[in-house]
Amino acid sequence: MGDYSGKEKEEDFKGSLTGKEIPVLTLDNKWYRLLNKIGHEDVKAQEDALNELLRKQGRINTKLKEIKRLKKSIMEEIVGLADEAHSGNAGAAKQLQEKKRLVDECNEKLEEYEDDMIEVPRQIEQINKELMLMTMESCYETMQEYTDDIEKIEAWVKEIRIELKKRLIRKQEMETKNHEIYSYMHDVFGAEVVNLFDMRYNPEEKHPVVQEEKPPEEPAAP
């Protein structure tokens, strides 16, 4: 069996997300903090689209509540007018017909908004999933970039450590040779001669710092 194409793998991956609960990302402050770590220019359009759908959903919910509240009020008025209309009150009968018309309008609006309440959440879920995929892709791309840099730095540190170790060994060798040379000089030429040359070749000893003398203390009064 041949390998899957990239498109087939992508479809399988998206299919495996079916049924998985994904929180609405633009309502999560942690998602925004995550974006600050990876940048969010690539997801701006999807973010705006999702927020607009959420606002639309909020407006629909508000309208539904208003219409249901209005319908309930009209239905209560209809109950009050029904007895008068059945008693032959022409005015009440006319009002009753108008109220029934308003109820029909409310029902039509409710049906329209309820259809939206089915469709909008579906759109929110779809865009939210796309936004999640884009976010995850950006996260892994960013982490891969960091990983590449980390590996380069690790290689550099390893190389520097080797070089540092070599230089420390070289330093110790030179310090040992200096000590050996100085010891032989003492043995061959004697300490007095070596001390004279120390004064000549050592800048600090060649130009010693003269300490300022303190004035003598006054004798204490008897």
Q: Is the pTM of this model over 0.75?
A: no
Residue 28 located in a structural domain: yes
DSSP 1: -
CB 76 within 8 A of CB 34: no
User: How many domains, the chain?
Assistant: 1
Instruction: Classify residue 86: in a domain, yes or no.
Output: yes
Q: Which residues form the domain of 29? A: 20-151
Instruction: Kindly state whether residue 76 falls inside one of the protein's structural domains.
Output: yes
Mean pLDDT of the chain: 82
Domain-located, residue 211: no
136 in a structural domain: yes
In whole angstroms, give the CA distance from residue 74 to residue 105: 11
Measured from the Cβ of residue 96, the count of other Cβ atoms closer than 10 Å reads 19
In the prediction, which pLDDT does 13 show? Answer: 63
The answer to whether position 10 is within a domain reads no
Residue range 24-79, pLDDT digits in tens: 999 999 999 998 888 777 788 899 999 999 999 999 999 999 999 998 988 888 88
**Residue 94 counted as domain residue:** yes
Residue 150 pLDDT grade (very low, low, confident, very high; cuts 50, 70, 90) = very high
Q: What is the pLDDT of residues 160-197, one digit of tens each?
A: 999 999 999 999 999 999 999 989 998 998 888 888 88
In a domain, 2, yes or no: no
Q: List the end-to-end C-alpha distance of the chain, in Å, as a whole number.
A: 115
